[in-house]
Amino acid sequence: MPNLKAAAFPAVERTSNPGRALAILATVQSTLIFTIALIMIPLPKIAEEFALSAGEVLLLQVAYGLPFSGLLLFG
Does residue 63 register a pLDDT over 60? yes
Q: What is the per-residue pLDDT for 68?
A: 83
Which residues, other chains included, contact 43 with Cβ-Cβ below 8 Å and sequence gap of 6+? 57, 60, 61
> Each residue of 24-62: pLDDT tens digit?
889 988 988 888 888 889 999 999 999 999 999 999 988
Q: What is the largest CA-CA distance in the chain?
A: 68
Q: What is the per-residue pLDDT for 12?
A: 54
Give the global pTM: 0.56
Q: What is the per-residue pLDDT for 39?
A: 85
Which residues, other chains included, contact 56 with Cβ-Cβ below 8 Å and sequence gap of 6+? 47
